[in-house]
């Protein structure tokens, strides 16, 4: 797992077409803005599609980013 620190307004790029921006930090919660093509699915961890009851490594990475 890659762990990065970002301040308010700073961005993280994933590939050429996914951008994550720190939009707000308030009382221990961080709000993220995600810009991605419409064909890229983005899920919160608790809403991941079930695949036999276990999350795959790719889903774990997605949930870490979205949280």
Residue range 11-65, pLDDT digits in tens = 999 999 999 999 999 999 999 999 999 999 999 999 987 765 555 555 555 555 5
Domain range holding 33?
A: 18-66
Asked if residue 1 belongs to a domain, the reply is: no
Q: Which two tokens stand for residue 52?
A: 């036999």
67 confidence band (pLDDT: 50, 70, 90): very low
Q: What is the pLDDT of residue 50?
A: 77
Asked if residue 58 belongs to a domain, the reply is: yes
Asked if residue 5 belongs to a domain, the reply is: no
Scan for tokens 């990065």, then name that residue.
4
Q: How many domains does the chain divide into?
A: 1
**Is residue 41 within 8 Å of residue 34, measured between CB atoms?**
no
Q: Give SS3 for 66.
A: helix
For the range 31-40, what are the long-range contacts, defined as Cβ-Cβ under 8 Å and sequence gap of 24 or more?
32/66, 34/66
């Amino acid at each position: 797992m890659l762990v990065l620190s970002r301040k308010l307004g700073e961005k993280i790029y994933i590939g050429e077409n996914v951008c994550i921006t720190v939009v707000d930090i308030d009382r221990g919660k961080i709000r993220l803005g995600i810009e991605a093509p419409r064909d890229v699915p983005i899920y919160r961890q608790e809403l991941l599609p079930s695949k036999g009851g276990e999350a795959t490594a790719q889903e774990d990475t997605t949930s870490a980013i979205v949280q």
